Structure 1
């Protein structure tokens, strides 16, 4: 079975080695042949523009779709790069195109971030005052994750609820700072991109969704 992962820098595994990416971990768990179609900085719209080349041309059986971290980013006060209605429409179009090619889709919600302040983490790169309605960047991300859930429900697409899995991990005593790049663990005030531990949590969540919805078997 061949599985493609279609998304942004989180899927690409930016700042990590290939063996730390969730797709590599899924390949080890299930024995998949894989295609990493993650491109740093990409929105759903940019993904659609390269869909044929980066996904369809490889003829995967399943495509993991993981966008949103760039779509929600505000480019002016309360103005997202991809307005949420357009985001929903883009996801629905990705699902439509995948199904037209007989490729099974799996949608993913978005991991939480560390908002921080103007000196570090998310707000060191994005002005805090631009995120007011709803209040705060994490609230915007939560809204986009809810949009993913809505598309999954309406189109009956399997869902890997990354946001929920991470929140449960935190509620059980895990630390968000261990899952994301921080000064503590990488020397970088990022707060957005997963560490190897964060990618492992992605792999667990996506892997469980794959096992629940598709005829896959553990290879180990």
Structure 2
């Protein structure tokens, strides 16, 4: 069976070895043929522009869909790259096109960020004052995750709730500073891209859904 992962830099595994990516971990766990269709910087609209070539033409059996991190980014005060309603419509379009081709979709919510301040992390690159309604970039990300949950429910699509899995990780004593790239672990005040530990969290969460909702078996 072929497993595609369609998304942005997090799916691509930017700054990591291929062996650290969630797609590699999942493919090794279940003995699946991986198709990495993650492109750094992509919004869901940019993903749709390459959807035919990068996903549909390769005929995967299952396609993980993981967008939203770039879509929520504000380009002006309270103006996201992809407005919320447009994001939902395009995500629904991806689900419909996958199903029309006989490919099973699996949606993912969005991992958290380290917001920081003007000196470091997210607000060093994106003006904090642009994210006031709702208050804060993480709150914007959460709105997009909620739309992903709604589409999954409306279309009865399996959902890997990455957002909730990472929250549980923190509640159990884990730190975002271990799961995301920081000055301590990479020399860069990133706070968005997962480390190998963060990719492991993705793989655990998605793997639970694959094992329970799809005809796959773990390799022994």
Range class of TM-score, shorter chain: over 0.9
Query: What are the within-5 Å matches in structure 2 for residues 69-218 of structure 1?
Result: 69-218=69-218
Match of 2:205, SS state, is helix
Pairs aligned (count): 220
Return the alpha-carbon distance in structure 2 between the equivalents of residues 120 and 212 of structure 1.
40
* Alpha-carbon separation, structure 2, partners of 1:19 and 1:139: 32
- 2:123 is paired with a residue whose SS is helix
Output the CA distance in 2 between the equivalents of 1:215 and 1:121: 41
Report the alpha carbon displacement of residue 195 of structure 1 after superposing the two structures with TM. Answer: 0.1
1:119 Cα deviation from its structure 2 partner: 1.2
Aligned to 1:56: 56
RMSD, matched Cα: 0.5
Q: How far does the alpha carbon of each residue in 1:56-101 deviate from its partner, in whole angstroms, 9 at most, with x for none?
A: 1110000000000000000000000000000000100000000010
Shift of 1:28: 1.0
Deviations 1:170-212 (A, max 9, x none): 0011111100000111111000000000000000000111111
Unaligned 5+ segments in structure 2 are none
- Taking structure 1 as the reference length, the TM-score comes to 0.99
Q: Distance in 1 between matches of 2:49 and 2:93?
A: 12
Q: Deviation above 6 Å: which 4+ runs of structure 1?
A: none
Q: Distance in 2 between matches of 1:124 and 1:30?
A: 40
CA–CA distance in structure 2, aligned partners of residues 41 and 188 of structure 1: 18
1:28 aligned partner? 28
Cα displacement (A) at 1:118: 0.9
TM (normalized to structure 2)? 0.99
What do the CA deviations read for 1:79-129 (whole angstroms, capped 9, x no partner)? 000000000001000000000100000000000000001111111111101
**Please, which runs of 5 or more residues in structure 1 have no aligned partner?**
none
Question: Which residue number corresponds to residue 45 of structure 1?
Answer: 45
How far the C-alpha of 1:150 sits from its partner, in A, is 0.4
